[in-house]
Amino acid sequence: MSVKRCFNRYSCGVLFCMLMWGIVHAQEISPIEKAAREGYSKRFTDSTASIQIQLNALRLAEEKKSKADQAICQAYLAMTHRRLLHLKEFTRYAEQSYHIAGTTSDARAKAFASWAMGSLKSYIEDKSRALDYMLEAYGLFTKLEANDLCARIGADISYLFSPGSEEKVKKYADAALAYAEKTGEPENILHARLAVGSYLSDRTASGDHGQWQEAVTFFRQTIELAEKEETKIISKSNIGIAYINLAVLYLNSHKPTDEQAFLACLEKASHIAQQYDLKNVYRSAIGLRGQFFLEKGEYRIAENLFKTGIAYQQALPYKDNYLLAAFYGCLKDLAAREKDYAAYYAYDIPFVRYNQLKYDESTQQMLQNADARFESDKKITRISQLEQENQLQKKNKLLGYGIAAVLLTGLVFMYRSYYYRQRYYQNREDILQQQQANNELRMQLMEKETLESLAEKLSLERRLLQSQMDPHFIFNALGNIQGMILQQDTALAVAYLSKFARLSRRVLEHSRMEKITLEEEIETLKNYIELQQLRLNKGFDYHIECETSIDPQLLLPPLLIQPFVENAIEHGLKPLASSQRGLLSIRFHEQSNEHILVCTITDNGIGLTESRRRKTHDSHRSLSTKITDERLLLMLKDNPHTRLEVREQPVTDGQGTIVTLYIPII
């Protein structure tokens, strides 16, 4: 997993979660709106008081029967609840605001209401609707010359257009910055600059140095401004985000990274994060630092940072599985680079767990958002239906007065009962249709998921072949054949060549198959081991033992075992001093009630700790272990007993490594 991207995405997420402030232009602002705005500005510091003040303002607006003010107060309340992540209240206030604003002709109220609705749609990831509302609000506020809100919404629109339309992303971000500069408020300017910075950063993905330099300069200026005006900025997280984004730019620059600048940014970000308790900024800073030291090869520092990040997250009152999975993923990566397989598998367990939780969570979130989208659409149709009904009722009333004078009231009742019955059936049908639509959406989501897992499987298969036929092994084998020929040992050369050809053919065939028999797997293993024996001049012995009760025709996924045998030979047996005779033993037994074949690979090589100490660079072997790992993870879905254990032989039994694979029987 690309961790860098993951932290990047994280800071983007922070950007989206950021909320707005409301220092509104002085003209035509009612005292009630001022009160609501005042309450809204307290949302970072004291959320209870913030909501209380806004509710008071709303009550006042209701008492004064000012619909415009009601809509504005509700819009502010909606935005406050967004900041508190209360989706239900957020939805309720945004919709009420939009509904009430619809009954007035007040442009300001309409603008606020559209803004709240746009924000809601963006929150539930309905981008196209969000853009409709936001553009409406933007247009209205532009006419009203409310520069601060134009700046605010312009930036939001810019984010919404990303990554689809580069041109519009730029246009709205630039416009937002122009509006923000008109207000002269550092708060507004910083927010708009983040939007501009965001597209400048995105552009650097192409690797152009000039554009990178431009983005860095821009963020440096932004930070300068933020530092100077720190006291006037309410959302401190924006300052932290500016530092984080600049650090990401440094990290993504052409190597070597400007270490000092990078670390200084993160230092500042952490400082602000601690001062104002900005958890997201703090975690991003830890993660980025860890990523940096990991790439630099300072594994101990990186490991400590990732562990600190995990401990920090665990101490928080809420879980963030996305982040925890990312941290454990980094630790896994680190262990793989260090060839510390024991640690690798130890980190793998929490990684898998959090990944699963994250996956469940995001599926749930997706469904929840889909539900919210559906509910919200339904409500809007209901509102217009009710309005129509109301009008009809009014008409009916008028008609009723007229007719009542002339006709029997019974007739009217008959008509109305007929009308309502029709309506009732119509409504029921509508609801059924909507339910069906909802179900279809769920089906689509599920289908997407299946497709994704299929794609995952396919790409794994492709890489499987690559991992099995280690190019290093191939060319060394050819080199050995050359040696035999040059030494004029024709018989040996011919035997070796046939073995090599047989192995290549088998691996090619097996990598395309879903399952093979145990017998075939054992044959391939023998073939592989004998080649290695010849190569290492019979430096080790081997035996393969299979419990007699096992049916040699049972089926299992192909090519799972070989990477571990390869590890045992290359890292365990090959480095042994020539005085010590190597021994490799492979045992199979069955746990039939769990549909598991247990394969134990034991060697008397130099052992994990020693191998780790000598750690020699080998990217192929970490690749093949990683792929086996991903394959085992996929199999885990079908058989929960799938597992892998790596441990060191107890000293009393001599040195060496024991790998135990629990392979699902198909």
Partner 1 sequence: MYRTIIVEDEYRLREALSILLEMVAPEEVQIVGYAEREDEAVKLIDRLKPDLVFMDIMLKEGTGFDVLNQIAHKAFHLVFTTAYEEHAIRAFKFSAIDYLLKPIDAEELKMALERIKDLQGRFLAEKQLSELNTSLEKTPKRLVLPTQEAMHVVKIDQIIRCETSGSYTTFYLTEGKKIIVSKPLKNYEDILVPPDFFRVHQSHLINVNYILSYSREGLVQMEDNTTIPISRGNKEAFFKLMKDG
Judged by the rule CB under 8 A, the positions of this chain that interact with partner 1 are: 206-209, 254-256, 471-472, 474-476, 478-484, 486-487, 535-537, 574-575, 614, 616-619
Whether 531 contacts 500, CB under 8 Å: yes
Minimum CB separation from partner 1 for residue 497, in Å? 13
Nearest-angstrom CA–CA distance, 133 and 154: 12
What residues contact 327, with CB distance under 8 A and at least 6 apart? 287, 290, 306, 309, 310, 313
Minimum CB distance to partner 1 smaller for 299 or for 312: 299
For partner 1, which is the closer residue by CB, 206 or 553? 206
Residue 486 or 651: the one with the smaller Cβ distance to partner 1 is: 486
- Residue number with CB closer to partner 1 (275 or 482): 482
Residue whose entry in the numeric block shows the structure tokens 């919200």: 376
- In the complex, the smallest distance separating the C-beta of residue 448 from partner 1, rounded to whole angstroms, is 30
Minimum gap (Å) between residue 254 Cβ and partner 1? 7
The CB-of-206 to partner 1 minimum distance in angstroms stands at 5
- Between CA 157 and CA 133 the distance in angstroms is 10
Shortest Cβ 297–partner 1 spacing (Å)? 8
CB of 474 to partner 1, least distance (A): 8
Which tokens hold the place of 409? 């009231």
CA–CA gap between residue 364 and residue 87 (Å, rounded): 14
- The kind and range of the H/E element at 612 are helix 607-614
Q: How far is the CB of 535 from partner 1 (least distance, A)?
A: 6
Minimal distance, residue 54 CB to partner 1, in Å: 49
- According to DSSP, residue 560 is labeled S
Closest separation in Å from C-beta 568 to partner 1 = 15
Is the C-alpha dihedral spanning 173, 180, 187, 258 positive or negative? positive
Residue type (1 letter), 465: L
Q: Nearest distance from residue 578's CB to partner 1, in Å?
A: 9
C-alpha to C-alpha distance for 116 and 78, rounded to whole angstroms: 7
Q: Least distance (Å) from partner 1 to the CB of residue 32?
A: 53
Shortest reach from residue 471's CB to partner 1, in Å: 4
Cα separation values, 492 from 326, 478, 502, 526, Å: 51, 13, 15, 18
Report whether 577 contacts 507 (CB < 8 A).
no
C-beta of 443 vs 474, nearer to partner 1 = 474
Which residue's CB is nearer to partner 1, number 425 or number 475?
475
Residue with tokens 């909320």: 19
Cα–Cα distance measured from residue 505 to residue 524, given in angstroms and rounded to the nearest whole number: 10
Q: Which of residues 175 and 534 has its CB atom nearest to partner 1 in the complex?
A: 534
**Structure-token match 């996924």, residue found:** 557
Distance CA 400, CA 395 (A): 8
Question: Minimal CA–CA distance to 242: which of 258, 225, 260?
Answer: 225
The DSSP call for residue 406 is H
What the block records as the tokens of 290 is 């860890």
- Which is nearer to partner 1, 25 or 203 (by Cβ)? 203
**Torsion sign across C-alpha atoms 482, 487, 490, 493:** negative
20 in the Ramachandran plot: left (φ > 0), alpha (ψ -120 to 50) or beta?
beta
Helix locations, 316-408, DSSP H? 321-337, 341-406
| Of residues 109 and 576, the one with the C-beta less far from partner 1 | 576
Phi, psi of 162 (to 5 degrees): -80, 140
> Of 605 and 664, which has the nearer Cβ to partner 1?
605
Q: Which residues of 338-374 are buried (b: 16+ CB within 10 A; e: fewer)?
A: bbbbbbbbbbbebbbebbeebeeeeeeebeeebebbb
Sign of the C-alpha dihedral computed for residues 387, 388, 391 and 392 taken in this order: negative
End-to-end CA distance of the chain: 29
| DSSP β-ladder status, 657-664 and 540-546 | unpaired
Write down the least CB distance from residue 571 to partner 1, Å. 11
Instruction: Choose between 112 and 250: whose C-beta lies nearer to partner 1.
Output: 250
